[in-house]
């Protein structure tokens, strides 16, 4: 059996727009009213260890995935970004719990966060981009840690094992080593409503103790649903009622869930800090890179909604305007080049100094037949970035001689 890794394959599948397969469904628990208050955080008993044969098997699969993740080109190894994200996690769950986590920040422009039973946690760049504040990041990380602390993935693992015969199960763990399909491993991380509520309560208790806003998690869910719907409508599809793709495949939302999350925030007398400024400072230059990755997903409706949502938080900054210009220019439908050029001009008028804005404006103008101004913008871009990867093509479009034929400079 070919050896597959969740890190490698999930990134490839999600970037291609495919839904992650579901291998194990847990029965839904009946809806219940929210508790009168958030539960106390239990004492930490130390780093979790596998307790039986089933859990040892699940740890083996997780260790195999972690080996692939550790060497993956998707891992962001920037020390500052990793220290910031880990700092938020540690502030939320506490230093004692945080010591048990090995955190990987992945450059994959899709919303996802997860924690494996062996202490490996992932947060994808698509999730970081969509956070409005540090409180939301703490809520998502705390929620995943709560699943881990309560050993929720083990329940899915045991149910999947019980549903297969011995021969099929043996095929997953060959004598020579571990082999696991994406569908099988992903299925172990599907949580039922009771488990989701436990993780919601545990995560929100972490958030409240850390002094963050307890409304954060409900905010994240509502915006994810709205973004997914916007993308589907733009593609001529109906909003997805079941929501079994992407992050929703393992964390199914519901109207009831949104209601009790909001009720919990009200009952907690939410006065916490949303942490918007600290989040933006923590992401630093990576925020712009994550925006670029998002545009390349070719999800016009979802990206347009996301940019507007970010603008509701920050206003239409030059960076957001320029990114929106890229979105329209790359789509290239009738009228899009004029819209893109207007957005680029507005970004420049706001003092956005990124040379890529002039590049985008130059290309949009040339597509509209405005040669002189378009070439001038490309020349300005090449002056700022003479070693750009597509410099040769842009020099030709700008009417400049190639370096090999240009005369000596004075």
Residue 158 confidence (pLDDT): 58
Q: Which residues of the chain have pLDDT under 70?
A: 1-37, 154-190, 240-255, 268-271, 404-410
* Residue 274 backbone phi and psi in degrees, to 5: -70, -25
Q: Do 253 and 225 touch, CB atoms closer than 8 A?
A: yes
The partner residues of 115 in beta bridges, in order of sequence, read 121
Q: Do 3 and 168 touch, CB atoms closer than 8 A?
A: no
Q: Do 346 and 321 touch, CB atoms closer than 8 A?
A: yes
Residue 37 confidence (pLDDT): 67
Distance of CA 235 to the CA centre of its chain: 21
10 Å CB burial of residue 334 (0-12, 13-18, 19+) is: exposed
Task: Give, to the nearest 10 degrees, the angle between helix 53-70 and helix 6-15.
Answer: 60
Q: Do 297 and 15 touch, CB atoms closer than 8 A?
A: yes
Question: Long-range contacts made by residues 254-262, C-beta under 8 angstroms, separation at least 24?
Answer: 254/193, 256/31, 257/193, 257/196, 257/197, 257/200, 257/221, 258/218, 258/221, 258/222, 260/33, 260/34, 260/197, 260/200, 261/34, 261/200, 261/204, 261/217, 261/218, 261/221, 262/215, 262/218
Spatial neighbors of 388 by CB under 8 A, at least 6 apart, are 381, 382, 394
**Cα(39)–Cα(83) distance, rounded to whole angstroms?**
29
Which ranges in the chain are annotated with CATH 1.25.40.10?
Answer: 316-397
Q: Which CATH architecture has domain 316-397?
A: Alpha Horseshoe (1.25)
* Residue 17 backbone phi and psi in degrees, to 5: 85, 15
Q: Do 251 and 191 touch, CB atoms closer than 8 A?
A: yes
Q: Show the tokens assigned to 389.
A: 């990867």
Mean of the per-residue pLDDT values of the chain: 80
**Cα(332)–Cα(340) distance, rounded to whole angstroms?**
9
pTM of the model: 0.80
What's the pLDDT tens digit per position in 240-298? 654 444 454 455 555 677 777 888 777 766 667 788 899 999 999 999 999 999 999 98
Conformation bin of residue 298: beta by default, left when phi > 0, alpha when psi is -120 to 50: left
Q: Do 122 and 155 touch, CB atoms closer than 8 A?
A: no
**Cα(291)–Cα(109) distance, rounded to whole angstroms?**
9
**Cα(324)–Cα(316) distance, rounded to whole angstroms?**
10
């Amino acid at each position: 059996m070919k050896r597959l890794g969740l890190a490698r394959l999930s990134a490839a599948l999600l970037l291609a727009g495919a839904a992650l397969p579901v291998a194990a469904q847990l029965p839904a628990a009946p809806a219940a009213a929210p508790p009168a208050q958030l539960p106390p955080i239990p004492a930490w008993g130390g780093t979790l260890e596998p307790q039986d044969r089933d859990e040892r098997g699940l740890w083996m699969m997780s260790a195999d995935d972690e080996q692939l993740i550790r060497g993956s080109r998707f891992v962001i190894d920037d020390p500052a970004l990793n220290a910031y994200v880990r700092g938020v996690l540690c502030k939320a769950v506490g230093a004692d719990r945080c010591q048990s986590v090995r955190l990987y920040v992945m450059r994959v422009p899709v919303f996802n966060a997860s924690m494996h039973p062996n202490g490996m946690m992932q947060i994808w760049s698509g999730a970081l981009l969509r956070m409005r504040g540090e409180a939301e990041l703490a809520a998502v990380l705390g929620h995943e840690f709560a699943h881990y602390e309560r050993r929720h993935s083990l329940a899915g693992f045991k149910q999947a094992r019980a549903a297969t015969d011995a021969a099929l199960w043996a095929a997953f763990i060959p004598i020579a080593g571990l082999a696991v399909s994406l569908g099988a491993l992903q299925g172990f991380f599907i949580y039922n409503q009771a488990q989701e509520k436990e993780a919601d309560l545990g995560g929100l208790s972490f958030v409240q103790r850390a002094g963050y806003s307890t409304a954060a998690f409900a905010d994240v869910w509502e915006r994810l649903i709205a973004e997914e719907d916007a993308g589907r409508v733009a593609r001529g599809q109906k909003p997805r009622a079941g929501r079994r793709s992407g992050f929703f495949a393992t964390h199914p939302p519901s109207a009831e869930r949104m209601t009790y999350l909001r009720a919990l925030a009200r009952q907690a007398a939410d006065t916490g800090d949303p942490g918007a400024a600290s989040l933006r400072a923590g992401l630093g230059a990576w925020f712009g890179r994550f925006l670029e990755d998002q545009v390349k997903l070719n999800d016009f409706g979802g990206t347009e909604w996301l940019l507007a949502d970010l603008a509701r938080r920050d206003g239409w900054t030059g960076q957001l305007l320029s990114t929106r210009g890229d979105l329209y220019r790359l789509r290239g439908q009738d009228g899009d080049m004029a819209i893109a050029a207007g957005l680029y001009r507005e970004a420049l008028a706001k003092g956005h100094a990124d040379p890529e804005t002039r590049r985008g404006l130059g290309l949009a103008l040339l597509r509209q037949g405005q040669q002189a101004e378009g070439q001038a913008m490309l020349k300005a871009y090449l002056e700022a970035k003479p070693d750009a990867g597509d410099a040769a093509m842009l020099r030709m479009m700008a009417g400049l001689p190639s370096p090999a034929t240009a005369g000596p400079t004075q």
